[in-house]
Amino acid sequence: MTSLSKHHVALAGEFAVLSQLALHGFDANMTLGNTKSVDILISNPRTGKMSRLEVKTHSNNKEYTNKQCGRVAGQWRMADKHEQIRDKNLFYCFVSIAHDNGGFKFYVVPSKVVADFVTTSHQNWLNGKDGRRDTPMRLFQLGLDRTGYPVKIPQADDYRNRWNLLE
């Protein structure tokens, strides 16, 4: 896979999510930037439920270990505003595109889970060393192990391909 701009990576993630939603029987439309903090509007024709989805995509992000969160499946950039968003009808789809083959991994996570983790992990980071300055940048991470983390981290296995959370 060639090196892509952030814009192209984001678009690839959004279109890949749209294809997955169609395969799972959802009616979905991209907002094309016309709806703040929402990339895709979703309707479930079986239940009538309406949901909103924000897509966060990265490419070439590999599993790794760090001191704060232990072994993680990947990380995605967030902002301080994501600490406040706890809406039962808003979900995030974190997309990981493999650099070597262009394969996709999808993680569907409720906004409350994201807000709780982003808040806790950022506070833990601030408390880690003297002199750390607060900035608007935050990170969302998904763990690969069930134990050994200094903060409670959502687990990748619990959210991978969890399209049923949108039902």
Query: What does pTM read for this prediction?
Result: 0.92
- Phi, then psi, of 15 in degrees rounded to 5: -70, -35
Per-residue confidence at 148, pLDDT binned at 50, 70, 90? confident
Q: What is the pLDDT of residues 15-44, one digit of tens each?
A: 999 999 999 999 999 998 767 779 999 999
Q: Which residues pair with 74 in a beta bridge?
A: 142
Minimal CA–CA distance to 98: which of 139, 138, 141, 63?
63
Cα–Cα distance for residue pair 74/35, rounded to 1 Å: 27
Q: Band of the pLDDT at 81, cuts 50, 70, 90?
A: very high
Residue with tokens 């270990």: 65
CATH topology of domain 6-166: Trna Endonuclease; Chain: A, domain 1 (3.40.1350)
Residue type, 127: N
Nearest CA among 48, 100, 98, 50 for reference residue 73? 98
Enumerate the H helices of 37-152 as residue ranges: 111-128
Q: Please, are residues 57 and 97 in contact by the beta-carbon 8 Å criterion?
A: yes
Contact 53, 40 (CB under 8 A): yes
> pLDDT per residue over 86-142, tens digit each?
999 999 999 999 877 778 999 999 999 999 999 999 998 888 877 888 999 999 999
Q: Give the C-alpha separation, 106 to 69, whole Å.
A: 20
